[in-house]
Structure 1
Amino acid sequence: MSEQATVLVVDDNSDNIDVLNGILRPFYKVKAALNGELALKIANSKHKPDLILLDVMMPGMDGHEVCRRLKASPITSDIPVIFVTAKSEIEDEQIGFALGAVDYITKPVSVPIVQARVKTQIALYNQQRELENKVKARTKELENTRAQIIRRLGRAAEFKDNETGMHVIRMSYYSKFLADEINANCDWAELLFDAAPMHDIGKIGIADNILLKPDKLDESEWKEMQRHVDYGAEILGNHDSPLLSLAVEVCIYHHEKFDGSGYPHQLKGKDIPLSARIVAIADVFDALTSKRPYKDAWTVEKAFNYLDEQAGKHFDPDLIEPFKNCIEQIKEIMTEYADEHERTTYGNE
């Protein structure tokens, strides 16, 4: 027998929740939230709901804003949303569908309508996931070829920058591990895995006398160095391809810092795309734990301490613990893709 699907009911009126719970409980696992904030927290949890029944008129964060945030995040964008509301004007329905909802149920609810529409949308959701799995299986060889090309592009920037040869491979794995740990959409996590190696491709456009300068850069040189994010975006160009679009996003924003002190746009907090917040952690962690001509490799423990110190400053504090939870996978990659003549230590210095 297949596992029951989970439906999240969001309504600020507990009586309405009780009604929907009574209708759905015989067929599904039902979770409930009395406000938008709690709904987003549940939707972003490790065990995501398979469908959300969402009230529109709620105090604080209304249903439209909840839906907008769900669809804007790669972690929750694929969860189908059905609005359940007393607002039945055509304009209201248009707004809901424009935000990404799949259906619209008016109050007072009809038992057979709720059951039928929930059953239909969950079946469509499962069918979509099954089709996506089949497509993935059929295109695996193409994806592998694409991934190899992308990694070679990333390596091109490393050769110019004198970086270690396996850096882009390791940090791309770390990025995917973190994306998976926060329960991001599987397809998006795979795209991030392929896009991450191109984060510094723009360094190809930086003159050697600046890129390889052994001394501290002066102000004009530092400004030119920062332009590698713009050069990277120019190299990758504007495309409809989700992969290249994500690569451009990572390229432009991975030097932004959570406190707004990064570059090029001094973005703060969650205004920085999730992809760039993830890559920033993966990139810096690998740089710290890798041997360079000017420094020895840090231990994992020392690097983790640095991430803790920079939480809320350089890095998104909500991503640090999930990244540390990936320690066993990280260690495997550090060993499998270690640079030649380099041995990484995992314990204390």
Structure 2
Amino acid sequence: MSSQRSSKTFLQLKYGEALDTAATKKSITSLLSSHDGTEVIHHCLKEGARWGMSPDSEEPNTLEAVYILSGKLKLHRPNEGSFLEAGDFLAGQPVSEFIVLTALEDSEFLYITSNPVFHYYSSDTRNLEMLAIEIEKKDGYTADHCFRIKELSMLVGEKMELNSESLQKLHFGALLHDIGKTEVPESILLKPAKLDEEEWTIMKEHTRYGATILRKTNITHFILAAEVVEQHHERYDGSGYPKGLRRDEICLEAAIVGLVDSYDAMTSERIYSKARSKESALTEIKQLRGIKYHPEVVDYFLSVIE
């Protein structure tokens, strides 16, 4: 985990807090006790919500522990998945691996940490998230575009049984995939007509801009996600940008986000384009399997979306 406190965990509660239109919160957090830098935090995760921790090489003496109170959670690990139920316990001093827990049913657990984090929970994530939402609205999407990309990408990643490190990378890469558009002039971003060649060249730089923004945070999970942000417009046949990467040169998480983002763009109503039907979008994706899109990712995506 990064030395910045807000990097310690990520929650899926923002969907409920950041958007006025969101129906329910996916997670509820409360501080039970705090003394001399140690905190006991109570988490309630709704079914399908996720929570995670990252290693922190700069805080080698930090103790972190999770004690399951109720429900059932899946712990995503390399080449395997294990399940945690009431009475199960995880601890590390410090945490030495990426940990992602997915609630398979409504669940509760205690998170104990010797480094106070509660009042800093996800402040950096929230700031970047709100910025990403605003930029997507300007670019013609609805406010929940980022969350749709993140949620569908995570469903595909879990279906592919990615480990916790990959899931954290996917989570933040998907959520903040277009954060670099904050560096694109509004005259280009808000242009209702087709961009000319010079404008399109500038627009394509948003992938590099986004990666730079995340790397400058010096927060572990943002640095991890920067590669996804930079590569999510790369295509399997090398026709994408910014580097024209091909096949396995593209990280798997970026291949997932690139496909999901394309599907959402096809099926979204925007200022300069009409929404296509789900069937039409899926037909195009199937036709471009192994051409624009990673074939294995397409197969898993279809198994989720259909």
Answer yes or no: same fold by TM over 0.5. Answer: yes
Distance 1:137 1:78, change over 3 A: farther
Structure with more helix by fraction? 1
Larger radius of gyration: 1
The answer as to 2:182 corresponding to 1:204 is yes
Instruction: Give the partner amino acid of 1:245.
Output: I
Decide which of 268, 283, 290 is 1:290's aligned counterpart: 268
Deviation at 1:226, TM superposition (A): 1.1
CA separation in 2, counterparts of 1:237 and 1:187? 17
Decide which of 233, 236, 244 is 2:211's aligned counterpart: 233
Alpha carbons 1:160, 1:204 under 8 Å: kept: no
Deviation at 1:278, TM superposition (A): 0.7
Deviation at 1:211, TM superposition (A): 1.8
Decide which of 248, 268, 284 is 2:246's aligned counterpart: 268
Structure with more strand by fraction? 2
- 1:29 aligns with none
- 1:138 aligns with 111
Alpha carbons 1:150, 1:194 under 8 Å: kept: no
RMSD of aligned residue pairs (Cα, Å): 3.2
CA separation in 1, counterparts of 2:244 and 2:263? 21
Deviation at 1:265, TM superposition (A): 0.6
Alpha carbons 1:256, 1:264 under 8 Å: kept: yes
Q: How many aligned positions are there? A: 207
CA separation in 2, counterparts of 1:266 and 1:283? 18
Alpha carbons 2:168, 2:221 under 8 Å: kept: no
- 2:137 aligns with 159
Residues 1-349 of structure 1 mapped to structure 2, 5 A cutoff: 77=78, 130-131=90-91, 138=111, 148-238=126-216, 240-327=218-305
Deviation at 1:327, TM superposition (A): 2.2
Alpha carbons 2:146, 2:174 under 8 Å: kept: yes
CA separation in 2, counterparts of 1:150 and 1:137? 27
Instruction: Give the partner amino acid of 2:190.
Output: L
Instruction: Give the partner amino acid of 1:251.
Output: V
Give 3-state SS (helix, strand or coil) of 1:217's partner. Answer: coil
Give 3-state SS (helix, strand or coil) of 2:229's partner. Answer: helix
Deviating more after overlay: 232-241 vs 262-271:
232-241
Please list every run of 5 or more consecutive structure 2 residues that lacks an aligned counterpart in the other structure: 1-75, 81-88, 92-98, 102-108
Higher relative contact order (CA 8 A, sep 6+): 2
CA separation in 2, counterparts of 1:76 and 1:309? 33
Distance 1:174 1:147, change over 3 A: farther
CA separation in 2, counterparts of 1:218 and 1:235? 26
Alpha carbons 1:150, 1:197 under 8 Å: kept: no
CA separation in 2, counterparts of 1:287 and 1:192? 19
Deviation at 1:176, TM superposition (A): 0.2
Cα deviation digits, residues 72-113 of structure 1 (max 9, x gap): xxx98567xxxxxxxxxxxxxxxxxxxxxxxxxxxxxxxxxx
CA separation in 2, counterparts of 1:137 and 1:303? 43
Deviation at 1:146, TM superposition (A): 6.2
